[in-house]
């Protein structure tokens, strides 16, 4: 790898297809605490597109390279680096801008991922599976056998919730909008999979034998979130981590005052920033363990070389896909 690499860059916020460019960038020499990492894969997540459009709550200094997650291979490390070595597969931090061929980066920001995990899958552990893991740990103290309810069960995070909950002994009520997903999500380990709609409450009560559900995970908003709030037990917590419907949460005051629900949110990039290295490592250790056993596999529709970014972002912005769109290493 030469000192010059290609990276996707934008100078101003706007529609991705208008503002993105592929540019040559000079890599700086590897400092004593740094590593040179060559990209293996980086997905296109909805948050990436929002960030490019300037609709993300944190705006990078421009020009910037998009990409909140990705995985690479270490090519070279500085003299003082101990945590990674050349040849290691690593997960990249969310503030790098992963849509690039390579980067020189502080080695302390890298997470070593076992080489048995495919690069494309390693590249997609840091947002959705990590979100799922933290949401199942950080809000309600659950015991084996306890129920969790989620909408957006078919999303990458939702599928990770199903698999991680099963691993931890929790049971899941999974709410989807399309009937053909019911069998599919049951096969992934969903204990109960239900169609969203007006009779969801009764269906959930029946399927769980009226269990008290103390944790709800919401990535839809609007009516769907309100239905979760009506289903969960008094004192339950609803964690919002996405807003696919683009509709706000409308809460009758009684759900707060009398049912005493707690509504809060989870933002994985914020968690990542505030976590200690030990907290990150411990979480990834468990995710790697699951991934090595064939779990937490995110479906992929197609990987594109960086040069085909126009097609890639256009496809990623479309609704019905067979899986994620990624950038892959340019051969």
Q: In the range 56-75, which residues lie near its own copies by CB under 8 A?
A: 57
Helix (H) or strand (E) holding 147: strand 147-150
What SS3 state is found at 129? helix
Total number of residues that touch its own copies (CB under 8 A): 27
Residue 61 CB neighbour total at 10 angstroms = 5
Query: Is 50 one of the binding residues for its own copies (CB under 8 A)?
Result: no
166 vs 259, which CB is nearer to its own copies? 259
- Which of 263, 275, 305, 310 binds its own copies (CB under 8 A)? It is 263
Query: Is 264 one of the binding residues for its own copies (CB under 8 A)?
Result: yes
CA–CA separation, 209 and 40 (whole Å) = 46
CA nearest to 164, candidates 148, 140, 141, 182: 148
Query: Is 13 one of the binding residues for its own copies (CB under 8 A)?
Result: no
Question: Strands 147-150, 215-218: parallel, antiparallel or unpaired by DSSP?
Answer: parallel
254 vs 331, which CB is nearer to its own copies? 254
268 vs 313, which CB is nearer to its own copies? 268
Window of 111-119, 189-197, 245-253, 313-321 that interacts with its own copies by CB under 8 A: 245-253
Structure tokens at 82: 């101990």
Bond prior to 63 in cis (omega within 30° of 0): yes
The answer to whether residues 286 and 292 touch, using CB atoms and an 8 Å cutoff, is no
Q: What angle do CA 61, 62, 67 make, to 5 degrees?
A: 85
Query: Is 187 one of the binding residues for its own copies (CB under 8 A)?
Result: no
Structure tokens at 319: 């609704």
CB of 134 to its own copies, least distance (A): 13
Q: In the range 78-117, which residues lie near its own copies by CB under 8 A?
A: none
11 vs 260, which CB is nearer to its own copies? 260
| Residue 56 falls in the annotated catalytic set | yes
Q: What angle do CA 192, 156, 105 make, to 5 degrees?
A: 150
Query: Is 253 one of the binding residues for its own copies (CB under 8 A)?
Result: yes
Helix axes 277-292, 156-168, angle to 10 degrees: 90
Going residue by residue from 192 to 211, which x/- string records binding to its own copies, judged by CB under 8 A? --------------------
Q: In the range 265-284, which residues lie near its own copies by CB under 8 A?
A: 265-267, 270
79 vs 257, which CB is nearer to its own copies? 257
Residue positions annotated with a catalytic role: 56
Contact footprint for its own copies (CB under 8 A): 57, 221, 240-243, 248-267, 270
């Amino acid at each position: 790898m030469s000192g010059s690499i290609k990276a996707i860059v934008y100078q101003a916020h706007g529609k991705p297809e208008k503002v993105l460019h592929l540019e040559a960038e000079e890599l700086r020499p590897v400092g004593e605490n740094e590593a040179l990492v060559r990209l293996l894969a980086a997905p296109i997540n909805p948050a990436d597109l929002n960030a490019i459009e300037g609709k993300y709550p944190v705006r990078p200094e421009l020009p910037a390279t998009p990409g909140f997650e990705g995985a690479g291979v270490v090519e070279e490390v500085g003299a003082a680096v101990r945590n990674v070595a050349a040849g290691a597969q690593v997960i990249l931090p969310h503030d790098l801008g992963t849509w690039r061929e390579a980067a020189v980066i502080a080695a302390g920001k890298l997470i070593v991922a076992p080489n048995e995990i495919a690069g494309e899958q390693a590249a997609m552990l840091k947002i959705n599976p990590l979100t799922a893991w933290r949401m199942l740990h950080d809000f309600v103290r659950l015991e084996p056998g306890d129920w969790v309810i989620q909408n957006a069960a078919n999303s990458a995070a939702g599928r990770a919730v199903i698999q991680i909950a099963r691993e931890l002994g929790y049971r899941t009520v999974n709410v989807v909008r399309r009937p053909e997903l019911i069998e599919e999500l049951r096969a992934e380990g969903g204990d109960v999979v239900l169609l969203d709609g007006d009779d969801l409450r009764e269906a959930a009560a029946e399927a769980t034998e009226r269990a008290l559900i103390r944790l709800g995970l919401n990535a839809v908003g609007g009516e769907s979130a309100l239905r979760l709030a009506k289903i969960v037990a008094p004192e339950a917590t609803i964690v919002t981590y996405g807003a696919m419907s683009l509709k706000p949460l409308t809460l009758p005051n009684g759900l707060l005052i009398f049912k005493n629900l707690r509504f809060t949110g989870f933002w994985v990039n914020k968690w990542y920033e505030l976590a200690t290295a030990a907290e990150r490592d411990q979480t990834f250790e468990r995710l790697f363990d699951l991934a090595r056993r064939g779990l937490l596999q995110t479906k992929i529709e197609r990987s594109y070389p960086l040069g085909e970014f126009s097609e890639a972002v256009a496809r990623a912005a479309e609704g019905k896909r067979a899986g994620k769109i990624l950038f892959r290493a340019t051969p």
